[in-house]
Structures are given as structure tokens and as C-alpha cells.
């Protein structure tokens, strides 16, 4: 990555609960962005140890292989327990620290409604972490190391509110993404925009095979509407033949909301 002193270290950071979520919900979008020479990153909140197929080590190997296909420049998995993604102060600090470290211009979060609690909780957690990451008087790393809220009146050891210096290390400067968008694939809602990933489709299929996704693959006959149905019941790629409402043969759905943090 480039120097952390630049305003944006990566162009787009995608955050999700599980290690194959990004590949399913916005892998094509990230691939398209990286093919245009922009820097992308992925933060997985958990290591995916509760998946019905394989282990956390399997997920790590698959994530590494998928990264090569997607061309991401940065990826990390936090240690939040799988199936127990909670919007706690500690977890918000962990994500806020990553946001300061990676300094993304655009953040992609999962949509805030869905079947799996980890998915919609990751959405709210990511949004609130962005807010914390922008607070000049909060040092997420220092707060994490004490496991106490620096805002708490009862904290035994009060952190200095302007804690730019922490244990001799310089705190990362505050940062908030310019824009947050949502990947809506796991929820049945009309997207506000779609990204045409027709040209990324073959690579996208390669990646689905690399991660041994639990998806059911329907390599479509002409006119088939849904080539891939994920284990979550969402449409990994919607194939419209002839070109459907989106105007693209293959597209990734996203939602944009008008709000600033
Ligand atoms: Zn998931």
C-alpha cells in the first residue's frame, strides 16, 4: 500500500462478516475496480470457523486464492467469533482502527437487512465504526489496548482525550470514507444502481470455483435467468437474456443512501 500519510491509502474497502461474503456479493465490482488500476481491500470480520463446509484454515487458503483473482492489494480477517458478530464498543474500535489504517475513499458494507444476523450486524457495525474513526479525540488502538472506553467516567485509568501519543507510538490520524455504499445481494431489495461486470464474468466464475463456494452452479442455457444461486438464497449474478432491466448481461447490485457521517 501507499504511505498512510496520503489522504486515501486505498480506493475501495469492502467489509463483510464472513470470508466468502465479499466474493459472492461484490467480487465482480472489486475486480472491475482493480482492473482500472485502483487499489482495493477486504476486511473480513470473522475467520469463518462456523461454516458448514471446511475449517477456518480452509477459508484462509480460499481467501488467499480469491485475492489473486480479484487483484486486491490488502486483506485481513479480524478475530470476531463467527456467528457472534456483535455491535460492541470493542468491535467498533477494531473496525475503526482498520479504517484509519487503510484510509479508504469508498467503503462497501453489506445491506443492513438480511437473514443472517452476522450480515446485518456487520452493516451497522461498519457504519458506526466509520463514525468513531473520524473522531479526532479518540485513538481506537489505545482504547482497545485498555479494553476501556476513554469516554467512560468510571474508567480507572483515563486516557487523554487527545491521545495522539500512545505508548510512544503515534496514533493514526482520524479518517472517514468519502462515501459508503451497500452490497445488496443477500437481501431482496431493488438496487439503486448496478455495476456492469459482464467483462469480469469469466474471472468471477473462476473465483467461485477457487473458493469452492457452496453455491449451486447453473451454467446457463441460453435464456436461463439465474446462473448461480448462493447458499444464502441470493442471486450471485443475475443473467438477463436478452439484456434485462439493468441493461447488462451480468451485474452486481448495490444500494446507495443519501447520508453523511
Ligand atoms: Zn456470510
Looking at the 3D structure of the chain, how many domains does it have? Answer: 1
- Measure 3 CA to ligand 1 centroid, in angstroms: 32
Residue 85 lies in a domain: yes
Model pTM above 0.75: yes
pLDDT score recorded for residue 248: 65
- Measured distance CA(61)–CA(119) in Å, rounded: 22
Please enumerate in sequence order all residues whose Cβ is within 8 A of that of 161, keeping only pairs 6 or more positions apart, or say none: 137, 150
- Measure 167 CA to ligand 1 centroid, in angstroms: 37
Residue 201 lies in a domain: yes
| 3-state secondary structure string across 149-183 | CCCCCCCCCCCCCCCCEECCEECCCCCCCCEEEEE
Q: Residue 66: CA atoms inside 13 Å, Cβ hemisphere, count?
A: 28
Residue 146 lies in a domain: no
Cβ–Cβ under 8 Å, residues 65 and 28: no
Strand partners, 182: 109, 255
Residue 68: CATH number of its domain? 3.40.50.10320
- Measure 221 CA to ligand 1 centroid, in angstroms: 28
- Measured distance CA(60)–CA(110) in Å, rounded: 20
The H or E element spanning position 142 is helix 140-146
Residue 64 lies in a domain: yes
pLDDT score recorded for residue 147: 65
- Measure 49 CA to ligand 1 centroid, in angstroms: 11
- Measure 18 CA to ligand 1 centroid, in angstroms: 5
Q: Digits of tens for pLDDT over the chain (261 positions)?
A: 434 446 779 999 999 999 888 988 898 899 999 999 999 999 999 998 887 667 888 888 888 878 888 899 999 999 999 999 999 999 999 999 999 999 999 999 999 999 999 999 999 999 999 999 999 999 999 999 986 544 543 333 333 333 334 444 678 999 999 999 999 988 888 889 888 888 887 787 777 666 655 443 333 333 333 334 343 333 444 443 334 455 666 677 788 776 556
Residue 152 lies in a domain: no
Cβ density class 39-63: b for 16+ within 10 Å, e for less: bbbbbbbbbbbebeeeeeebbeebb
Residue 142 lies in a domain: no
Residue 35 lies in a domain: yes
- Measured distance CA(89)–CA(131) in Å, rounded: 12
- Measured distance CA(74)–CA(136) in Å, rounded: 25
- Measured distance CA(127)–CA(108) in Å, rounded: 10
Residue 59 domain boundaries? 10-135+174-256
- Measured distance CA(146)–CA(233) in Å, rounded: 41
- Measure 150 CA to ligand 1 centroid, in angstroms: 32
- Measure 119 CA to ligand 1 centroid, in angstroms: 6
pLDDT score recorded for residue 5: 44
Alpha-helix runs per DSSP H in 71-139: 89-102, 117-133
Cβ–Cβ under 8 Å, residues 94 and 132: no
Residue 155 lies in a domain: no
Cβ density class 69-98: b for 16+ within 10 Å, e for less: bbbbbbbebbebebeebebebebbbbbbbb
Longest dimension (CA), the chain: 67
- Measure 242 CA to ligand 1 centroid, in angstroms: 31
Distance of alpha carbon 128 from the chain centroid: 14
- Measure 96 CA to ligand 1 centroid, in angstroms: 21
- Measure 162 CA to ligand 1 centroid, in angstroms: 37
Amino acid at each position: 500500500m501507499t504511505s498512510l500519510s496520503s489522504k486515501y491509502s486505498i480506493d475501495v474497502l469492502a467489509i463483510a462478516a464472513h470470508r466468502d461474503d465479499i466474493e459472492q456479493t461484490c467480487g465482480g465490482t472489486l475486480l472491475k475496480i482493480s482492473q482500472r488500476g485502483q487499489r482495493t481491500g477486504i476486511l473480513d470480520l470473522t475467520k469463518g470457523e462456523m461454516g458448514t463446509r471446511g475449517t477456518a484454515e480452509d477459508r484462509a487458503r480460499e481467501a488467499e486464492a480469491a485475492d489473486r483473482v480479484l487483484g486486491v492489494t490488502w486483506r485481513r480477517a479480524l478475530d470476531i467469533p463467527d456467528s457472534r458478530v456483535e455491535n460492541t464498543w470493542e468491535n467498533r474500535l477494531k473496525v475503526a482502527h482498520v479504517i484509519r489504517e487503510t484510509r479508504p475513499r469508498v467503503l462497501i458494507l453489506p445491506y443492513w437487512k438480511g437473514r443472517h444476523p452476522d450480515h446485518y450486524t456487520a452493516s451497522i457495525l461498519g457504519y458506526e465504526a466509520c463514525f468513531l474513526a473520524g473522531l479526532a479525540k479518540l485513538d481506537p488502538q489505545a482504547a482497545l489496548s485498555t479494553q476501556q472506553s476513554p469516554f467512560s467516567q468510571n474508567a480507572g485509568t483515563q486516557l487523554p482525550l487527545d491521545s495522539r501519543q500512545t505508548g510512544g507510538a503515534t496514533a493514526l490520524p482520524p479518517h472517514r470514507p468519502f462515501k459508503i455504499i451497500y452490497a445488496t445481494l443477500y437481501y431482496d431489495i431493488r438496487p439503486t444502481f448496478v455495476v456492469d461486470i459482464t467483462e469480469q464474468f469469466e474471472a468471477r466464475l473462476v473465483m467461485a470455483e477457487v473458493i469452492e463456494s457452496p453455491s449451486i452452479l447453473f451454467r446457463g442455457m441460453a435464456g436461463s435467468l439465474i446462473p448461480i444461486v448462493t447458499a444464502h438464497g441470493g442471486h450471485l449474478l443475475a443473467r438477463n437474456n436478452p439484456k434485462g432491466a439493468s441493461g447488462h448481461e451480468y451485474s452486481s447490485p448495490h444500494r446507495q443512501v443519501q447520508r453523511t457521517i
